[in-house]
């Protein structure tokens, strides 16, 4: 079956992002290597522009819009990081942007999105149909919809982080990537499949929202209630129609971690690696630390996907750990 993206799409995205996105650092830790018995490489997308990998997919998508569409602008709906990413990409490209965000998004994410010059429209994440809200505004104003994950340009853009990681450290045996709607892992797996075909790509979901794990078991997309988890960027209820076939074909399997395990990983990042990582950004690391896969003696990549966290909540989580 033809997949919605292939390696050349990731390569082309990397060209568009050159000089615009940060080439984020890859961090290692003797402490983590000792804990796991593996050689671990953390790709620090918490240090990407807007504090998450989502800038890659957003910029790759917006930069391919027509001049006419650039004039009318774009709209996105997002639990936070995608909104900020689209807002910044739109600002850099001189386009108007509307971002629909859950009203309970971390205040820092709301403020940052407005700070990039976007208009923010709020909705209730447990009751509202955010897609309907977004599509109505798009129709009224002639704006282009930029989906958070289910778009080939978004997926290809997200894959550029793993392209950088593998080009920098060489082939890996395993790669752990957090999953929300599957944009990051579909791009990541596409890059890994080309650059390190023997590398097993493992997805990691919050255990409260294991829709992708269940979807793989069933062989079709399974919708769930909006999961209640501290991993707010992974509170998706249905994997993408375009991301799912890529996951089915290129991802080895999906693991799940608890909120408590995410907090443990967050704490390790703060204490040992001096990195602020948001709960969703800890999915891969939590799976590694919980030894959900045997990694002893292996070269392991971990996607650290984002670092946008309300500092008051962050302090409370660390204190409770």
Ligand X SMILES: *Cc1c(COP(=O)(O)O)cnc(C)c1O
The answer to whether 144 and 75 have CB atoms below 8 angstroms apart is yes
Active-site annotation holds for 209 = yes
Of the candidate residues 58, 74, 143, 179, the single one contacting ligand X (CB under 6 A): 179
176 binds ligand X (CB under 6 A): no
Q: Which of 9, 211, 232, 278 is catalytic?
A: 211
206 binds ligand X (CB under 6 A): no
> Coil, strand or helix: which one is 23?
coil
**Residue closer to ligand X (CB basis): 38 or 233:** 233
Tokens of 293: 């896969």
The answer to whether 309 and 279 have CB atoms below 8 angstroms apart is yes
**Minimal distance in Å, beta carbon 281 to ligand X?**
5
**Minimal distance in Å, beta carbon 231 to ligand X?**
8
Could you tell me which of 273, 254, 247, 98 has the C-alpha nearest to residue 185? 247
Between CA 158 and CA 170 the distance in angstroms is 19
Active-site annotation holds for 205 = yes
Part of the chain binding ligand X (CB under 6 A), chosen from 8-16, 117-125, 163-171, 179-187: 179-187
Q: Which of 78, 79, 105, 188 is catalytic?
A: 79
Packing angle of the helix pair 81-92, 107-115 (nearest 10 deg): 10
Active-site annotation holds for 54 = yes
Between CA 261 and CA 206 the distance in angstroms is 10
Active-site annotation holds for 79 = yes
157 binds ligand X (CB under 6 A): no
Part of the chain binding ligand X (CB under 6 A), chosen from 112-120, 176-184, 222-230, 261-269: 176-184
The torsion angle over the Cα atoms of residues 278, 167, 148 and 1, rounded to 10 degrees, is -130
Of the candidate residues 118, 280, 300, 314, the single one contacting ligand X (CB under 6 A): 280
Between CA 97 and CA 235 the distance in angstroms is 23
**Minimal distance in Å, beta carbon 54 to ligand X?**
5
Kind and range of the H or E run holding 297? none
Tokens of 252: 């080895």
Interaction with ligand X in 300-319: which residues (CB under 6 A)? 305-306
Catalytic site residues?
54, 79, 205, 209, 211, 305
Query: Which residues lie near ligand X (CB under 6 A)?
Result: 52, 54, 81, 148-149, 158, 178-185, 233-234, 278, 280-281, 305-306
């Amino acid at each position: 079956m033809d997949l919605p993206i292939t390696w050349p799409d990731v390569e082309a995205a990397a060209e568009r992002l050159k000089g615009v996105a940060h080439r984020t650092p890859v961090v290692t830790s003797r402490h983590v290597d000792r804990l796991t018995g593996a050689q671990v490489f953390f790709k620090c997308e918490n240090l990407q522009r807007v504090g998450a990998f989502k800038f890659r997919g957003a910029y790759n998508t917006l930069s391919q819009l027509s001049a006419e569409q650039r004039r009318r602008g774009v709209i996105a709906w997002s639990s936070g990081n995608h909104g900020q990413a689209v807002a910044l990409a739109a600002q850099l490209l001189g386009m108007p942007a509307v971002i629909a965000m859950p009203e309970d998004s971390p205040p820092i994410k709301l403020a940052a999105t407005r700070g990039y010059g976007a208009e923010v429209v709020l909705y209730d994440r447990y009751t509202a149909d955010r897609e309907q809200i977004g599509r109505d505004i798009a129709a009224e104003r002639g704006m282009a919809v930029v989906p958070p994950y289910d778009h080939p340009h978004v997926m290809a853009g997200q894959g550029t982080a793993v392209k950088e990681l593998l080009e920098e450290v060489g082939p890996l045996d395993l790669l752990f990537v957090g999953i929300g709607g599957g944009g990051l892992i579909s791009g990541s797996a596409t890059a890994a499949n080309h650059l390190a075909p023997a590398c097993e790509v493992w997805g990691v979901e919050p255990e409260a929202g294991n829709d992708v794990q269940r979807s793989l078991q069933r062989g079709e997309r399974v919708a769930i209630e909006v999961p209640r988890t501290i991993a707010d960027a992974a509170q998706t209820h249905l994997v993408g129609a375009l991301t799912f076939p890529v996951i089915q074909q290129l991802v080895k399997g999906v693991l799940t971690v608890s909120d408590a395990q995410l907090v443990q990983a967050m704490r390790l990042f703060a204490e040992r690696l001096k990195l602020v990582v948001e709960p969703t950004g800890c999915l891969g690391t939590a799976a590694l630390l919980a030894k959900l896969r045997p990694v002893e003696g292996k070269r392991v990549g971990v996607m650290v996907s984002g670092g946008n966290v309300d500092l008051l909540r962050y302090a409370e989580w660390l204190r409770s750990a």
